[in-house]
Amino acid sequence: MKHLPTALLFVGLSCMSAHAEQVALPPVVKLDAAAVPNEGISVVLAVSGTIAATQPVISRVMPDTARVVHIHPAGTGKVLTILVQPGSVVHRGQALLRYQDHSLHVARLQAVQMRAALAAAIAARADAAGAVQRARALVGESVSMAELRRRQDALAQADATLRARQADVGTLGHRFAEEFNSSSEQGGQSGEDETSTLISPVDGMVQAIGTSVAGDVDPTIDVATVADLSIVWLVSDIPPDQAVRVAPGGQQVTQVAGRPLLSHIDTVDGMASPLTGLVRVISNVANPTGVLVPGMVLDATLAQHDAVTGIIVPSEAVQRINGQNVVFVRMDQTDYRPAVVDVALDDGTQAVLRSGLKAGETVVGHGSFALRSVIGLAGMDAD
């Protein structure tokens, strides 16, 4: 039993009998003024309000599937080195693996051929333009109108060929800029380097590597999967009879490193899983510091949509005495009145009372156990 200071006094017990079948509470519990700070007595104001019932669950941290990036190579080739492993935390732009890019080699050969063809088209167009200019100067003398028109047709053809060669070079340049060098890949920087590097397009965690060193890769292969963990899922699988009591928008409280994390339920599956028979409940949670890692298992509570309205006090204000729920109403600094209350809901933090207390009354929160102990010392049951 907790040892109480002798300054704790109890009055009004003469009307009670320790042998009575139903023992009445004393009208007043009196504390010596010095005992109030010693016992850490604190008071709160009872207020009207509504609290939703909660149910305890186990939540797992999972990546948001909409934020999982599947990385495919732009070209075909053979893996040279893998720089990360599943579970590795990566940053945007960080290299994941390198491969010998055969497609890059072919594309660079095409680029050489296209640049040569463009140079030839430029030269041919210049020759055609010069021929037209000379024909215009000599038309009616040594050059006929028919010859001028022929040379003009040749210039138009040279213009069309030049535009086609420019388009070919532009298309291949776009491929180098957008395909071989993109948010998830960097092609060789020099003209002779045929190594491509796959990079992470987001800050996150590597979920899977789908190849190995010396393995063949092509654009159809999912070679790496990276999850953006700036927002994650808290997933709870619960029985259907519990799932009908929760709804999207309801509050979820998850314990993370000893602290409550507040979120709201985003989805409640309409059907139970055929494999587990459970219904999945998902809450999206911002994770800017990365403290929530996929695979973590956490204690949580889900708010039910059936809320309870009444007088709200801290859970620690309610004490069990002689089979009854009791709170202590402060009359003055040293006098406290026990009040029997009907508890409709207690979520472990707050209790909702149906009766026995009015809004605006001042009750003991922390320290109510000391008052309960005084009654116990007087011979009443406290359970």
Dihedrals phi, psi of 54, to nearest 5 degrees: -125, 160
Nearest CA to 56 among 266, 260, 235, 303? 303
- Backbone dihedral region of 359: left (phi > 0), alpha (psi from -120 to 50 degrees) or beta? beta
| Domain range list for the chain | 8-51+307-377, 56-66+228-306, 73-221
Query: 234 CB contacts (<8 Å, ≥6 apart)?
Result: 59, 60, 61, 62, 252, 254, 263, 282, 283, 284, 285, 292, 298, 300
Residue found under tokens 């999206």: 284
DSSP code string of 189-257: SSSS--EEEEE-SSSEEEEEE---TT-EE-TTS--EEEEE-SEEEEEEEE-HHHHTT--TT-EEEEEET
Q: How far is CA 59 from CA 54, 251, 263, 360, in A?
A: 14, 14, 12, 38
**Predicted local confidence at residue 174, as pLDDT:** 76
**Predicted local confidence at residue 217, as pLDDT:** 94
pTM above 0.75, yes or no: no
User: The domain 8-51+307-377 is classified under which CATH number: 3.40.50.620, 1.20.140.10, 2.40.50.140, 2.40.420.20?
Assistant: 2.40.420.20
Residue 326 one-letter amino acid: V
**Predicted local confidence at residue 12, as pLDDT:** 35
> Same CATH fold, 56-66+228-306 and 8-51+307-377?
no
User: CATH fold of 56-66+228-306, please?
Assistant: Elongation Factor Tu (Ef-tu); domain 3 (2.40.30)
| Sign of the CA dihedral with 108 first, then 112, 118, and 119 last | positive
Each residue's pLDDT, cut to its tens digit, for the chain (383 residues) gives 344 443 333 333 333 333 334 457 889 998 888 878 888 889 999 999 988 888 999 999 999 999 999 999 988 999 999 999 999 999 999 999 999 988 777 777 888 889 899 999 999 999 999 999 998 888 878 889 888 899 999 999 999 999 999 998 888 787 776 667 788 998 765 555 688 999 999 999 999 999 999 999 999 999 999 999 999 999 999 999 999 999 999 999 999 999 999 999 999 999 999 999 999 999 999 999 889 999 999 999 999 887 889 999 999 999 999 889 999 999 998 899 999 999 998 878 899 999 999 999 999 999 899 888 888 766 555 55
Helices (H), 246-352: none
